Amino acid sequence: MQSTYEKSIENKAYQHKKFPVKKTLIYVVLIIFALVNAYPILWMVINSFKSEQEFANNQFGFPKEFVIENYISAWETANLGTLFSNSIFICLTATFLTVLIGAVTSYFLSRFTFKLNKAVYTFFIFGMLIPIHATLVPMFILMRNIGLLNTPITLIFPYIAFHLPITIFILTSFMKAFPKDIEESAIMDGCGIFRIFWSIILPMSRPALATVLILNFIYNWNEFSFALVLINDPNLQTLPLGLASFAGQFTTNYGAQMAGLTMSLIPIIAFYLLLEKEIVKGMTAGAVKG
């Protein structure tokens, strides 16, 4: 909601005669962009209500009758209830741990000068270049050797390890941009190193923190390969595995699959909406200006 005050400022800012044309153009571009982006989701939701027979005959239009059973059968046959709670637990734990230890590390890498700084940073960046499928067999053997196969926390470790690099990369580049004098004044006030991190650097990094939280959540929520090879117990599996189970060797139950995918999208969109405002809210008043 915009206040009238804001609106008046806005009008002042764009007071030239080109204004309506330009604004229309912006809207046209944005609406095309939105349509192209929304189409697959709409298609998914619409088809999640179609019976198998109707899906076979009509993939474009609206269903003749809405089949709610897809949702029920998807939920039951794929054991989605259990998988949802497993996924939420693993996802949240891994995401918050990654961002927490990633943020601390980034803080030291970006705000301190020490001998191995560059080396450590570069070393972390290497992690962004590792193709995940190359590590499946070694990771399986490693987890077997340390007895971490098939436990509720198994997946948390590789998830943290594989997403720390991108987290540190984004956070470090963001934190580096802060002016040098912030800490100086804080140190004058007698703040400790970790205190500065917690009450100054972290709040200032909100947009970047929100970005990496969202990124981590998406990666972990959709992660398939590690979940496939490291977990056997059906009660410990995560959602992506359940969603793959609608496809057989020669047949696929598309209706149930689309219903499952639609349901699995809800938490991730909720998480995004929860954090998105942090990305665009801007910096806390007066913390950094110029």
Partner 1 sequence: MHATRNKTIAITVGILPALIIYLIFAILPILQSFYYSLMEWDGFSAMQYVGLDNFKALFQDPLFWNSLKNNIYVVLASVLGQVPIALFIALLLNRKIKGLKLFRTIGFLPVVLSTVVISITWSLIYNSENGLINELLRTIGLDFLAQNWLGDSKWSMIAVLVTVIWQFVGLYLIIFLAALQNVPEEVLEAARIDGASEWKTTWSITIPMIWDTIIVAVILCISGSLKTFDLIYVMTNGGPAHSTDVMALYMFNETFNQLQYGYGSAVSVIIFFFSLILIYTVTKLLGKKMI
Partner 2 sequence: MRKLAIMIFSTAFLLGLVACGGSNNEETSGSDVIELTLWNDWTEDRPENNAYKSMVEKFNEENEDIEVIIEAIPHDQYETKLRTQAAGKQLPDMFRVWPGARIQPLVEGDALLPLNDIIDNWKDTIPEGIMKDYAVDGNQYAIPGNISETSLIFYNKEMIAQAGFDTFPESYKDLKGLIQALNEKDITPISLGNKAIWPLQSVYISTIADRFTGSDFLPQALNGEGTFENEQFVQSLSIIQELTEIKAFNEDMNTLDEAQARNNFISGNAAMHFAGSWAIGPILESAENIENIGVAPFPSFEGGEGDPAKIAGVAGGGIALNSDLSEEEREAAFKFLKFFYSEEMYQQLLEANIIVPADLEMGDEIPQVFQEANKLAQGGLAPVYDATLTPELTDLINNGLQSITLGEMTPEELAKEMQAENEGK
Interaction with partner 2 in 156-195: which residues (CB under 8 A)?
156
194 versus 235: smaller Cβ distance to partner 1? 194
- The single-letter code of the amino acid at 178 is F
Cα–Cα distance for residue pair 201/257, rounded to 1 Å: 44
Taking alpha carbons only, the member of 220, 202, 204, 201 closest to residue 98 is 220
CB of 208 to partner 2, least distance (A): 13
Which long-range contacts link 281-288 to residues 24+ away (Cβ below 8 Å)?
281/206, 281/207, 282/207, 283/204, 283/206, 283/207, 284/203, 284/204, 284/206, 287/182, 287/200, 287/203, 287/204, 288/178, 288/179, 288/182, 288/204
117 versus 235: smaller Cβ distance to partner 1? 117
Using CB under 8 A as the binding rule, whether residue 130 contacts partner 2 is answered as: no
CB of 49 to partner 2, least distance (A): 17
Sign of CA dihedral 27, 32, 33, 39: positive
Interaction with partner 1 in 61-100: which residues (CB under 8 A)?
none
118 versus 144: smaller Cβ distance to partner 2? 144
Using CB under 8 A as the binding rule, whether residue 244 contacts partner 2 is answered as: yes
Binding site for partner 2 (CB under 8 A): 52-53, 55-57, 73, 77-78, 89, 92-93, 96-97, 100, 136-137, 140-141, 144, 149, 151-153, 156, 202-203, 206, 209-210, 224-225, 228-229, 232-234, 236, 241, 244-253, 256, 275, 278
